[in-house]
Structure 1
């Protein structure tokens, strides 16, 4: 009988929730005469706020009347506003009377119980601080008390969305207000149709719209100023932290109430409503506090004339254009700079020092100021002489290195000798330093080695590193060499064992080389520049002091302007210090780099500072950056524009401004970058100034956060100690970090941050090593998580259910083994799914309509229905199916795969890697399946010939095919206008057949590889004018099939630089033809 009784009670509660609540008993104030009410001239948003406060504090309560008539005029129940308080002009003395909405607009639900702090006993005073003694006033009509209590609860329970429903104001994502743009997006979401059932007061809704808009306008002006006075800086910091608090409060609301319960049954829905009532009260109280803070902040803005600040610049980038391409001069300019710092004189001098006949170990130090090109020169010398040594390594050193991790990494750079037992596992980190050094010595024994230690900072670091080189046996000395680059003269002297002749001091560029580098970056040519800029450019170059980094940075800043205006050049010249050319200092170089930041458009600043997430000398993947920016809301949302395109424009703009340096290209596009260490110093100083990001290298750094003035919002950790150090770090998580929204962890530590402690996390980035399984089960509680990338050497443990991660956009996992939760197919926002090679397709993958990237899955163990389901993922841009071993697919599975691929018309990248049997001609029969594809790799799909539809892919730049024999379609491939890389696997080569590459074909091809177990050299012929830009040629065949011939017409390949021939296990390479 308990079940019917429970249903009856819930039904009664449900009916009570649909009616207004009986009012809280309060003693009303005297009713004022309307004629005596003063006239107020305050702005609407302030009067609305004042009237709501008066209503809350002054309305009276009485017996509930279910048939309350319309509300009477304000004079019947509102008291006159209080006298103006000169200490608080923002709240008192500005109201314009009551602005209550009509009762017909109110829909209430609540409980009849009074608050704990209030009493229904008339003789007992209220402790709530919001009214006088409790009781029922005889002169207050029932309908007034009902209306007043209804208004109070309307505001406390369901007005939250409308309190903060601001218009869609387009704001730049600056460093200070990196939170403002995502905050406004969430406010707009709360005001959308999904929350239409929660209606409130419109005038209160406009309050924060006006307040935040006004404050944001002032903040944008302040961002464009070089220096701020203490008052303005304090106001800026206060508004920034307040914005974070408002967003966190909204996140709490969305977490508890945002999902809705449309599919929940009546009983459970009613129970949830009762449970959430108290939570709504608490959130409403917190929002009220934040609202008062916003009002006070805006009042301070007016009081201190914050709006009167004059910005120094208003530089903008062309992010509104459909596409911002990387300036093609950028790659060339870094090559040019490398050529200048490594000209014949310095390069030959160093090569001579390193290649003499001395058999003992020699250490050569390159010393010079940051930005002179020490690393560039060392790399050029290293590349030139490395072939003369048995073992080589080029290793950077961070400013605060963990020596155990560094030496372990150095150990893995050298091959393991046969029959030598050395522990290469992650347990090496737990061993003593001497054990690691002993292993390095064993690997280098009887070897001639060349090692570059780049950017060494102190002598103690070198003392540890050099122990691996000093203790070699004299009889094993074979003329090994070590190059050390450093900024510190004393370190350079100590590293080369006090041999002054082994120290090379970097010199700045001369006048002509500086001018050449400068004008090639700005105009693309040394000679093609207006004469009116000759004099001022000479003055700018003089102030750059011949430092390549300074020259490229300033030149890129000027090149970023669409028009060349002399006034702008003069402004840059005047901003540069006068003493830097004579006495280069770190502060002087930082001021030069700071100019680029000052002139950086506001919408790029937060994205630029986000680079501080990564440690020094780290290769940063372009896709990772773009996805992290999107997850944090650092990219402006432009109407009708793809957000990924806008984010990629940001990346390209940073490259064009030389704020990041190009690193690795693939398929003709830049896929990664690096940040110069001096630029990283600038980034981290700006991050600290704006409380944007904190970097922690050990438990001591973490402990210092206990005294930090503000809450930490982003943290990058590099705990590499392991063991006790990890436990110490775990115990030092300060309370200021509970609001962290992005966390990164790099290094060899097994320490796992307490993810449940960071309930507002949006971004997780882990790149760590260790033998322990990485436990990520806590992520199921991170409601706001949007980006998760974890790269580990062992296993990853995911939660059994992750469907609660409704905002997750990127899941990128690299590990030994992985079991994906089955409910991953229910994640509505998942766009990028990258998993370890060969992972089974999740059952029901056809439901993942939002996917744009699918990478790493294999087909060997996947179901036929899931292979068919791939064709329904029509938003896919990148599909990479990889199998570690041979894939054994049935004919029906091959047909399903071909059919699915043919339906993915928007693919840009397609790779099917493995070995498939019985593939037949299923792909060849497709009719123009891809419109915009750039990369097509069908290595494991054996086809009879080149499919005809491939010859119509005008955007195709990278092509890899496995075909049975030579066909005439080779000539059609030569007409592809964008093809840069071509790899062909030939299963057979008919006798007396030849593939002739005719004149004019393959106009932009740079790399051509032809592979077969038969003799490919006998079937290739190049006519004059064929492949005019070919730089690399690769050939592979079985040693028993080679007849000793060479391809005909190699002399016609005028741009050829490298020929690589792979004859089974033998390899022969010829360079610089």
Structure 2
């Protein structure tokens, strides 16, 4: 029997008989190699490495776990790799991988592919596939419900593991068949890849045997279901199901024990008094939102108790996860002294409206999970202009927005307790008084760790403190180590069930995405885009089209934020986009516990070997010895791992043994002297996501293989801070590569790969240098029609390039950007020094980039412009803009017309003494601007009345000889109360040469600045006197910098150089220029 890849076209062309015969012989040899019937002859030698291995099943698992020791590391040899037009994407399908069903969904798609497409399978094989696919489809449908039945966990776990094992078989088969094709595409595969497949325990076996084994496994699972006589109906009728816990049961014992409640109570009451577009007499609804256990109900109760005496009618009722609107309305009426049993919802609403129509009322609606349930409840509250108030509480942010007045102005987001309040509550619960303290230093140390783990969650603190009361130090230490898993004691059980409610409420795809954060260490801020791309690579996010998978993943991310299961980390202040997230320690413990039970993710810390098949693994440990992890690898527990987070450099050589890995994230402790050798990466044929990054932002040496054409499934290659001058020569042969980045490249930028125009799936390209790239490749950028983000940096050796060569590259770049303009959203030019400024004089014309109006972020700080180009005024969607110019001129009037601009940074780099005066227009200009950075010390500013009405942050660099005549005029015209931060940077002592120049001497310049310290105080007083009277609520920081601003470091997270300060008016001054992309 011969195997072949599916037919791609109906067109058939005649082939000479001799050629057809030769093709059949060649194909027969490759197919026989895949099925174990023949030998594969290499171009360089005739070695055969076919080894018979046992099948994957539980009874033989112990026999094949030792096979990873047989794999050898093959250095890549030279091979010819053509560029595919029809390479199969193994992760594409209509169903996702999830924690409830394992790989069952994606497996069914692939089995359907085997039947529908022409792989030249025998009819009996197709019938077998169709037969067991039907059984798997039924299991796939029922599995999430069946797992809820007592006594079925072993069976459910077996089914999930079976789905992973079968998918590994099918992936290996499909990958092998990819080798059996005509001369086009990735079919001309590196011989090392064939050796990998020969040694693999699956693909060398005849496909008929594989299909029969799959059929037997599936039949055994189906028979076991019939034998135990269970069904989906059993889940509904299960009489042993536990009653759900009321999440509001966990309250403080009495009011005297409330800690940290005063400030939130006062803030909530203040919201009641604010107008926010609602008059004081109108009905006002304030919503409290936050994670379960943070104290939403407690806060609402405290405010209710404090204010209820001021209202004629008052009620405090709960809705719950399964709302009964009729019951809620009846409870409100009952609290108001009315009782109705025989009325429907509409009648109850009418009765409540009549009762409240002429009365001032205060009602709390607690624990709302669904905005649809809120609508009929809200309709019962009449607008009677008597100053009535309503509080709602919810765990879900969109519900909070839907239930409050005036959108987000009346949403109060719960905060964790401060460390001081956490300790007070902890001590009061254990010892009965916050004045008490632990008996021993050891208990004191343990209590600090426990409180850190509780993270300011009142419910968690109370629960753990209750367990520790009266217990010895040994028990405290035990709780510290195991508190995430302990279930003894009613309070702990309630805490877990309350936190678990939010998790149970999630759909399967969100549960899966949430559990994946277990890969990351505790207290880690997780980059959003890293997480989204990992979800996509793992197959958790499936769409009909591939290029919008990350967009759908971002929707999942936002839902988890709104459910308060993930906490927002860094937020872009200018478009309110969440850029990173954190996971509360208590939630992380709960998720890791669930993940371990479901064999979803294992965290290995080096202390012990892991047994059994592990699907996803995070290596978290700092010990020097690798015995535990190495033992797990040697025993085969990681032979089928799909995701790996590796944090130890010494283990990098072992990654090549993870044959089935999809996500490889190397987050390493590195220095400039370290070398990360990834030359074995070309063996990981199923790899979709690769990221290498240091734990701290230091450059390091990175070695990649010369060719990586075998990684045909790769979607993301992210190499942060790597010292790398070029990519592997055949990287353009990767058909699904959508994100290619080398941010903050230690070499000043990486050359564009040859034939880059073939990377048509590319959406993000970062860290490339046009001076290292050929003109042809720069022109090739214009064919990347899916490109949304392009970040270019310039190399240090630009000054050695001939002017003609530079002009050719700049012209080619201009041409490519014009071709990309309609789709490009972010365009960045980053630099490391002034000598690398990009000469783009030709871009100053009236319209150099047609159809560029959709761009949202534009960074031109490394481009040499005489003045701001007029075409900037056409970018109506631009919300972030950075530019450096020689002359400010009418730049402000051009930019002022941009309706969406929220962030604007303007820098001048003229060294000669040239004075300018600029007027910032008033009403109608800069209507959306929130952050202005103005580093033009020789320019005097005048703010007209009504200028920049939404400005929140002002950052100015001022001249060293500051006097009254050079102060900005019209500071009082900036909106008082809106302006929150003012950064005033005085470039001190003009005789200091620019840093990086030949005459620069750091010690000499610093000494000159320090010698003039007595002259700084008058300048500080002058600036404070000018700004504080008009903006007394703003945080004003005055610093004296000892060198000139010279450029913009290329970095997505922090776009600007830090300004070294020799003196500051605040002791805790931050950079102040920490912008977020």
Q: Deviations for 1:707-742, whole angstroms, at most 9, x for unmatched residues?
A: xxx4100000113122xx035632442322211011
**What is the rounded CA distance, in whole Å, between the counterparts of 1:759 and 1:247 in structure 2?**
13
Work out whether residues 367 and 394 of structure 2, in 8 Å CA contact, stay in contact via their aligned partners in 1: no
2:642 is aligned, of 712, 729, 741, to: 741
Work out whether residues 766 and 790 of structure 1, in 8 Å CA contact, stay in contact via their aligned partners in 2: yes
Work out whether residues 242 and 290 of structure 1, in 8 Å CA contact, stay in contact via their aligned partners in 2: no
Distance of aligned partners of 1:847 and 1:965 in 2 relative to their CA distance in 1, 3 Å threshold: same
Work out whether residues 340 and 513 of structure 1, in 8 Å CA contact, stay in contact via their aligned partners in 2: no
Distance of aligned partners of 1:882 and 1:1022 in 2 relative to their CA distance in 1, 3 Å threshold: same
Work out whether residues 1002 and 1026 of structure 1, in 8 Å CA contact, stay in contact via their aligned partners in 2: yes
Q: Deviations for 1:994-1025, whole angstroms, at most 9, x for unmatched residues?
A: 2222213212211001112x422x2x222222
Distance of aligned partners of 1:309 and 1:513 in 2 relative to their CA distance in 1, 3 Å threshold: farther
Counterpart in the other structure of 1:965: 887
1:900 is aligned, of 809, 816, 825, to: 816
Counterpart in the other structure of 2:657: 757
Distance of aligned partners of 1:281 and 1:726 in 2 relative to their CA distance in 1, 3 Å threshold: closer
Counterpart in the other structure of 2:301: 511
Counterpart in the other structure of 2:216: 292
Structure 2: which 5+ runs fail to align? Answer: 1-16, 40-88, 239-257, 268-290, 308-315, 321-327, 336-362, 370-390, 405-458, 467-489, 989-1008, 1010-1015, 1025-1033, 1037-1077
Counterpart in the other structure of 1:861: 772
Displacement after TM superposition at 1:775 (Å): 1.9
Distance of aligned partners of 1:634 and 1:513 in 2 relative to their CA distance in 1, 3 Å threshold: farther
**What is the rounded CA distance, in whole Å, between the counterparts of 2:930 and 2:206 in structure 1?**
65
**What is the rounded CA distance, in whole Å, between the counterparts of 1:797 and 1:273 in structure 2?**
23
**What is the rounded CA distance, in whole Å, between the counterparts of 2:681 and 2:392 in structure 1?**
43
1:305 maps onto 2:230 in alignment? yes
Distance of aligned partners of 1:339 and 1:1039 in 2 relative to their CA distance in 1, 3 Å threshold: farther
Displacement after TM superposition at 1:509 (Å): 5.0
Work out whether residues 964 and 987 of structure 1, in 8 Å CA contact, stay in contact via their aligned partners in 2: yes
Distance of aligned partners of 1:1015 and 1:768 in 2 relative to their CA distance in 1, 3 Å threshold: same
**What is the rounded CA distance, in whole Å, between the counterparts of 1:192 and 1:200 in structure 2?**
14
**What is the rounded CA distance, in whole Å, between the counterparts of 2:306 and 2:764 in structure 1?**
43
Counterpart in the other structure of 2:430: none
1:1057 maps onto 2:980 in alignment? yes
Distance of aligned partners of 1:776 and 1:280 in 2 relative to their CA distance in 1, 3 Å threshold: closer
Work out whether residues 721 and 749 of structure 1, in 8 Å CA contact, stay in contact via their aligned partners in 2: no
1:1006 maps onto 2:917 in alignment? no
1:637 is aligned, of 538, 543, 549, to: 543
**What is the rounded CA distance, in whole Å, between the counterparts of 1:174 and 1:533 in structure 2?**
40
2:732 is aligned, of 796, 806, 825, to: 825
Q: Deviations for 1:377-416, whole angstroms, at most 9, x for unmatched residues?
A: xxxxxxxxxxxxxxxxxxxxxxxxxxxxxxxxxxxxxxxx
Counterpart in the other structure of 2:578: 670
TM-score by length of 1: 0.59
2:605 is aligned, of 683, 689, 697, to: 697
1:559 maps onto 2:399 in alignment? yes
TM-score by length of 2: 0.58
Displacement after TM superposition at 1:843 (Å): 2.7
Counterpart in the other structure of 2:790: 879
**What is the rounded CA distance, in whole Å, between the counterparts of 1:248 and 1:640 in structure 2?**
22
Note the 1:193-592 alignment, pairs <5 A.
193=117, 195=119, 202-222=126-146, 227-230=148-151, 232-263=152-183, 281-303=205-227, 304-310=229-235, 509=299, 511-512=301-302, 555-556=395-396, 559=399, 585-592=491-498
**What is the rounded CA distance, in whole Å, between the counterparts of 1:984 and 1:916 in structure 2?**
15
Displacement after TM superposition at 1:640 (Å): 8.9
**What is the rounded CA distance, in whole Å, between the counterparts of 1:338 and 1:846 in structure 2?**
62
Distance of aligned partners of 1:261 and 1:168 in 2 relative to their CA distance in 1, 3 Å threshold: closer
Work out whether residues 744 and 764 of structure 1, in 8 Å CA contact, stay in contact via their aligned partners in 2: yes
2:742 is aligned, of 817, 832, 835, to: 835
Work out whether residues 739 and 759 of structure 1, in 8 Å CA contact, stay in contact via their aligned partners in 2: yes
Displacement after TM superposition at 1:204 (Å): 3.1
Displacement after TM superposition at 1:953 (Å): 2.6
Count of matched residue positions in the alignment of Structure 1 and Structure 2: 711
Q: Deviations for 1:836-878, whole angstroms, at most 9, x for unmatched residues?
A: 5222222332222221111112223222222222222221111
Counterpart in the other structure of 2:559: 653
Displacement after TM superposition at 1:901 (Å): 1.5
Work out whether residues 966 and 986 of structure 1, in 8 Å CA contact, stay in contact via their aligned partners in 2: yes
Query: RCO greater where, 1 or 2, for CA within 8 Å and sep 6 or more?
Result: 2
Note the 1:856-1005 alignment, pairs <5 A.
856-883=767-794, 885=796, 887-888=798-799, 890-904=806-820, 905-914=822-831, 915-922=836-843, 924=845, 925-968=847-890, 970-987=892-909, 993-1005=917-929
Counterpart in the other structure of 1:713: 615
**What is the rounded CA distance, in whole Å, between the counterparts of 2:613 and 2:170 in structure 1?**
17
Note the 1:1021-1036 alignment, pairs <5 A.
1021-1036=942-957
Q: Deviations for 1:140-182, whole angstroms, at most 9, x for unmatched residues?
A: xxxxxxxxxxxxxxxxxxxxxxxxx999985465312242233
Displacement after TM superposition at 1:306 (Å): 2.5
**What is the rounded CA distance, in whole Å, between the counterparts of 2:522 and 2:319 in structure 1?**
26
**What is the rounded CA distance, in whole Å, between the counterparts of 2:91 and 2:840 in structure 1?**
56
Of stretches 580-589 and 907-916 in structure 1, the one that deviates more from structure 2 is 580-589
1:183 maps onto 2:93 in alignment? no
**What is the rounded CA distance, in whole Å, between the counterparts of 1:736 and 1:729 in structure 2?**
10
Distance of aligned partners of 1:197 and 1:180 in 2 relative to their CA distance in 1, 3 Å threshold: closer
**What is the rounded CA distance, in whole Å, between the counterparts of 1:1056 and 1:698 in structure 2?**
51
Distance of aligned partners of 1:221 and 1:842 in 2 relative to their CA distance in 1, 3 Å threshold: same
Work out whether residues 167 and 209 of structure 1, in 8 Å CA contact, stay in contact via their aligned partners in 2: no
Q: Deviations for 1:723-780, whole angstroms, at most 9, x for unmatched residues?
A: xx0356324423222110111023x653336123211000011111145422222211
**What is the rounded CA distance, in whole Å, between the counterparts of 1:841 and 1:205 in structure 2?**
45
Displacement after TM superposition at 1:783 (Å): 0.6
**What is the rounded CA distance, in whole Å, between the counterparts of 1:312 and 1:1064 in structure 2?**
76
Displacement after TM superposition at 1:821 (Å): 1.5
Counterpart in the other structure of 1:683: 591
Counterpart in the other structure of 1:598: 504
Counterpart in the other structure of 1:847: 758
Distance of aligned partners of 1:643 and 1:279 in 2 relative to their CA distance in 1, 3 Å threshold: closer
Structure 1: which 5+ runs fail to align? Answer: 1-6, 22-107, 114-164, 314-336, 347-369, 375-506, 523-529, 544-550, 565-575
Displacement after TM superposition at 1:973 (Å): 2.4
Work out whether residues 932 and 951 of structure 2, in 8 Å CA contact, stay in contact via their aligned partners in 1: yes
Displacement after TM superposition at 1:950 (Å): 2.7
Q: Deviations for 1:244-265, whole angstroms, at most 9, x for unmatched residues?
A: 0110101221232223331189
Q: Deviations for 1:896-932, whole angstroms, at most 9, x for unmatched residues?
A: 2222222112112110122435321325432433243
Distance of aligned partners of 1:279 and 1:1061 in 2 relative to their CA distance in 1, 3 Å threshold: closer
Q: Deviations for 1:56-102, whole angstroms, at most 9, x for unmatched residues?
A: xxxxxxxxxxxxxxxxxxxxxxxxxxxxxxxxxxxxxxxxxxxxxxx
Structure 2 counterpart SS, 1:239: helix
1:1072 is aligned, of 1017, 1032, 1035, to: 1035
Counterpart in the other structure of 1:809: 715
1:1048 maps onto 2:969 in alignment? yes
